[in-house]
Amino acid sequence: MMNPEIEYIRQQTLSLLDQTRHSTRALLGNLDPERIVHTDERLWRVRDIIGHLGAWNWEAVRSLKAYAEGGEYFCVPSEAQYYDYNGPAAELRKAWTMDQVWAEYEAAHDQLRQIITSMPDEKWAGEMLYPWNHRGTVEYFIQVMMSHEKVDHCDLVVRLLHL
């Protein structure tokens, strides 16, 4: 029997995933994929941001799967080492076609959705290990991941390009 409180949180979390995905597609899908949108040391193009989001969403999938199965997973030992992950992940995807970049992004969101849908009720109250070696709930994890996508990247693109 489903716990109504957990089911409400699950549905809110799925809604956040869907809204974020829709917004990202609407914004980034309508921009020139070669346009530079990060003008700091990264010089990332639209395509690089989509690739970055896909890569991190796969890391989220790995952490959630491990947690659902009773284990743990992380890919970055500390925040100070983000670039050790982000640099190589971005470089790998620079050679990909846009179809490949979008396919990874979409597949990662599909997997996140599937895992959230099937996450056992008892796991929602516990603390899991996030890919960046912090701990918290599943609900908060997805909120952080979707904020990363929307605020740290999509909203930044809007501000930089004055859209």
Dihedral, CA atoms, 104, 58, 110, 154, nearest 10 degrees?
-70
The 10s digit of each residue's pLDDT in 104-150 is: 999 999 999 999 999 999 999 999 999 999 999 999 999 999 999 99
Q: What is the mean pLDDT of residues 30-55?
A: 89
Q: Which CATH number does the domain 4-161 belong to among 3.90.870.10, 2.60.120.10, 1.20.120.450, 1.10.3720.10?
A: 1.20.120.450
The 10s digit of each residue's pLDDT in 148-158 is: 999 999 998 99
The pLDDT-based confidence of 1 (bands split at 50, 70, 90) is low
- Residues 131 and 56: beta-carbon distance below 8 Å: yes
- Range with lowest mean pLDDT among 73-82, 93-102, 129-138, 139-148: 73-82
The closest alpha carbon to 58, from 153, 126, 145, belongs to: 145
Mean pLDDT of the chain: 93
- Residues 72 and 127: beta-carbon distance below 8 Å: no
Please name the residue that has the structure tokens 């076609």.
Answer: 97
Domain boundaries, the chain: 4-161
Opening angle at CA 58, ends 133 and 22, nearest 5? 115
Q: What is the mean pLDDT of residues 27-33?
A: 95
